[in-house]
Structure 1
């Protein structure tokens, strides 16, 4: 079974040359194909047909080179095992697990609970930012504590505009957007799309770890527009900032 492994395989040139000095050019090619296949698929079966397929050798050529190849592996229990690659695969798996734990801890510290048990700044983001946030629609006036069925009404977001600006500035600051430009950009988005839609887009950018949050958020807005309303191709972050500043100057009369 194919197993997930690192995208790159370490090749220590000195060790490789030390083990392969007596190989011919053709044998070098066969050996490299064998270890590359091993890295992706694990040990090959001790089956000449499969080994020929991996090395791209015909029957006569493989029969000629098999002894030299077998000396570089441990052929046992119906498999061609390679001690060095097994060790590197184990190391790659350990490193991947360590990176995964580190990334998870960083995400929890940033968006969830800090290491000292106190809520992080992002904790003030309402539940709407962590999931889909459908726009609020008007409904008949009723008791604020219950809905028409008598069940307790869900809690409302207090001051969604403040939430949008606070959390939007925090997210954009990570992309290097200074506070003033971030505020102008958020104001433009709010004017064009409404605070609730901006909160939804901020939540999606947060959950998906957008590297360029401005382009990502602009893309969320464009998905809901007609083709003739979509932004021209270009640098999403730069275009968004330029448009926001242009609108800001227009409103101020400059």
Structure 2
């Protein structure tokens, strides 16, 4: 901590030194500066002459004038009071700085001991699927949850302008509403981005609440589900095909044209 600055009481100084010439004022200031920086003045003419930057002859002539500003032993009440006040203020700031340093050290230690939470939860089932895929040599399926918390969060942030914490909270609520189905939530986010929805948060929330029994009624997701069911039920050309019915409701066989 830097030493305290010496206060200059300009009004008192000008009033007290109005009878001095420039050399006398300079010597008086030099004596005050030495007094302030060391806490005392030596009661020795040779040393005082050096401090006042005068020759021995000049000091002998200036001493009777300058010593009137001081008490015996070259003491000055104003400087003593200012020094005591400066020391008290210095010690008070030093103690405050010590307390602040301890508090800062404790806070830094707490932060270093804190364990960062993962960005997304890792479930046992997901880890088992990844292990099974690696063991069988098959390519691991895409991690939709990871995509949701990377691509999906970025899309939500870009569309809404909200911060990471708010976006993560919103995606977590969407996951809960969708029965923890990351594919559904990611699909709704992509729908909102593609359709340039004005209020994507409200738009996604409305579609999550619009289904029955937790089923989301997004047209694109519904179409994808229908397509997956059709592919799963397809068993080859003509197999399992229903006959075309005529107007009477009876089955009418298909006929191939001849020739």
Per the normalisation by structure 1, the TM-score is 0.42
- Structure with larger Rg: 2
Flag the structure with more relative contact order, 1 or 2, with Cα contacts below 8 A and sequence separation at least 6.
1
TM-score, normalised to structure 2's length? Answer: 0.41
